[in-house]
Structure 1
């Protein structure tokens, strides 16, 4: 096996970066559409509604992350039967969870709006969004599984096609429903749901074709014993449960951040949401190199090539450091221009601009946590990810409760920066014990 070169790693990462960046770009467009046509309450509703679905969907992000590690290792071991079984196994899990979420939509919405405790006007708009968007749950979660397969197999160009279709169609429909038909927040939700279902069927077609599965129902029946093999199923559930706890702790941090911001007023909530959208854009960009780490680490671990694994870790991390530096500087200098494109509210603009340097610091320091997450996902060693994120979340809550009453939004941002730093430090201590 040849040593990975920087051009090769960049070639693999670029489609993932573009695909990943499409997700927060969509959030930015949603924010811009509402920010230019609605009020601060509308913008705050989009912020909180998006946060609810971060909980609902990212909590099951193991369908993407867990799938990637196992698929990459099966590919490295050249186990075609297990590759096909993994595909069907995760698709069935994703569909089942999606249906369960639709059935449980009422208590989920009640708990979410109670916890976030925004103004009655914002909560009303959040409900308009939630009860439409939840109908896309099975499509979203099954697509997570398919994206995990695409990354694990190294089919990054096809991943890009799926994400471009999903987000491109979403943008068109959102503009149509909000600007053209004046449906407001509900129009954003409707456009997203329709795009999610179209993207699912497109992704299924791509993956089945690339894997040579011409008769999915027949292949599912042939692999039924392998799909439900107890040992393999328990290994998948163990990894998935760790990732789920880790993801819930991660999203809990951003939920806590939003809750604290909401208590500082609708304008502060809206301003922080804008900055978090820009952080998400950078995060998904950096996650491209982490995804390449997942893929390559899994391949080399499955092939039992330790030297190759360490070279991949080193080179993808160098690329991530360079990227985080460039992104933070770009945001620091061009932040005011970007903010003005996302909202016309002068008070929201002022709050966002006064805190943009905190967002730049967050972006610069975040690369380490992303890279270490990618390494552990590729190794399918997810317990360190769980432990580090839960520990960092506890510290984040402590610091935010301590600093926010004293320093207001500035203290809240410093607490968020400490959150990403503690995650990286805890993960690095686990990483050193591996080698």
Structure 2
């Protein structure tokens, strides 16, 4: 992407990501509605618990998306076409390899995950079928992380949109088929998602082949370039920090789910419904955060401190405005969506009472999501790692302090966690700006 940084060009890059990202929470909404309209609160809560477990395990390797975006963008900014292609192959090899390892280790990982979470016999029974089915898609899921990150790093957001839409539409269709037609319950939701991930891998490889010439890329890259020591050292160093950062944030959301589970099936199910609101806002606002990743990575690769500052300002304007807009929409029109997602009266009433907490998250969370994008694009893994650890520790302490307040305390702690993340990352921003300015000034 070499066009001038303007609001028009930022939005042109962001809108395909936003459109594609809306289909991600749409899958969660459909899954929630498919299970919720069975009227079985235990099944709905079981999907929530199972989703938390899968997110904890799979998104531990989210660096395959985030690290790929920043490093690919920097290679693109430096006009290093061979390194751009090498990044794709490294990411695919790492994703498939780690996915196969997860599949082989599930016999130990699944029991451990359920031992750590407070579910209970009924919830565990519903969640175990979902989790086991999702592990069938582990290699494809992690490989698709890498393809997505590579496309976003290049600024090929329309290609990423096609990949996202294909995967999520297949997911929705199969989930409806398996649950409503075949009566497979939570296991059907997991199986539909796994099948969609394998479909997405095939489509993703075809899309990536358009930009690399398909298998011809293997002939252009010697083993020495593909697995060069310096490149691999940097890959693992950046990804290790991002992995720790991701684990810290996953533990935060796992703690939140577990806090709801402690308070019973109805609370956990209501929290699952409300988290769909948070997911919609987060995934759509990620359009601007992902754009920041690409633009800032390319600015650093080309050595332009001015382009980086402009990218931060323009993506920040869009992100903050969208966060406030989502908060107002959820506040004003959230209740009908709650009723749409579940027919259980107790779950509806609990979710409606807690709606103001979920509604305010987009406005408070926007700075944290944007700063994530800035530091991912800059491949400042250490700052991401340290900020996430600090924010998670502060969140856990807040939740423990607010436990006497029950579910209100659970949600207040979650809302404050976004503020902690923004403050912690914001403290590293001046240093990032100085380092890029100094690099430009160096002879």
**TM-score relative to the length of structure 1:** 0.97
2:114 and 2:87 map into 1 onto residues whose CA distance is 36
Q: Kindly provide the CA deviation profile for residues 15-72 of structure 1, in whole angstroms up to 9, marking residues without a partner as x.
A: 0011112111101100000000240000000001111111111110100100001110
Q: 1:234 aligned to 2:233?
A: yes
Q: Kindly provide the CA deviation profile for residues 49-102 of structure 1, in whole angstroms up to 9, marking residues without a partner as x.
A: 111111111110100100001110111111111111111111111011000001
1:51 and 1:291 map into 2 onto residues whose CA distance is 23
Q: Kindly provide the CA deviation profile for residues 142-192 of structure 1, in whole angstroms up to 9, marking residues without a partner as x.
A: 000000111011111111101110010111111111111111111111111
Please give the secondary structure, in 2, of the residue aligned with 1:355: helix
In the alignment, what sits opposite 1:244?
243
- The structural deviation recorded for 1:211 is 2.2
1:240 and 1:218 map into 2 onto residues whose CA distance is 27
In the alignment, what sits opposite 1:407?
405
- The structural deviation recorded for 1:3 is 4.0
Residues 3, 9 of structure 2: 8 Å contact kept: no
In the alignment, what sits opposite 2:437?
none
In the alignment, what sits opposite 2:255?
256
Q: Kindly provide the CA deviation profile for residues 407-427 of structure 1, in whole angstroms up to 9, marking residues without a partner as x.
A: 101111111111110110011
- The structural deviation recorded for 1:216 is 5.1
In the alignment, what sits opposite 1:344?
343
Q: Which runs of 4+ in 1 moved over 2 A?
A: 211-219
Q: Which runs of 5+ in 2 are unaligned?
A: 434-443
In the alignment, what sits opposite 2:333?
334
In the alignment, what sits opposite 2:61?
60
1:13 and 1:109 map into 2 onto residues whose CA distance is 37
Residues 3, 308 of structure 1: 8 Å contact kept: no
1:399 and 1:20 map into 2 onto residues whose CA distance is 31
Alignment of 1:23-38 (within 5 A): 23-38=24-39
Return the match for 1:434 from 422, 427, 432. Answer: 432
Alignment of 1:1-150 (within 5 A): 3-150=4-151
Q: Kindly provide the CA deviation profile for residues 336-382 of structure 1, in whole angstroms up to 9, marking residues without a partner as x.
A: 10000110111111111111111112111101111111111111111
In the alignment, what sits opposite 1:416?
414
In the alignment, what sits opposite 1:379?
378
How many pairs does the alignment contain?
A: 432
CA RMSD, 1 decimal: 1.1
1:434 and 1:132 map into 2 onto residues whose CA distance is 42
Alignment of 1:317-328 (within 5 A): 317-328=316-327
1:429 and 1:345 map into 2 onto residues whose CA distance is 44
2:217 and 2:65 map into 1 onto residues whose CA distance is 20
1:371 and 1:363 map into 2 onto residues whose CA distance is 12
In the alignment, what sits opposite 1:152?
153
Q: Kindly provide the CA deviation profile for residues 267-309 of structure 1, in whole angstroms up to 9, marking residues without a partner as x.
A: 0000011111210110011111010000010111111111111
1:429 and 1:261 map into 2 onto residues whose CA distance is 31
- The structural deviation recorded for 1:11 is 1.0
1:303 and 1:363 map into 2 onto residues whose CA distance is 33
Please give the secondary structure, in 2, of the residue aligned with 1:59: helix
1:283 and 1:223 map into 2 onto residues whose CA distance is 40
Residues 51, 131 of structure 2: 8 Å contact kept: no
1:376 and 1:5 map into 2 onto residues whose CA distance is 21
- The structural deviation recorded for 1:434 is 2.5
In the alignment, what sits opposite 1:300?
299
1:7 and 1:81 map into 2 onto residues whose CA distance is 30
2:10 and 2:325 map into 1 onto residues whose CA distance is 18
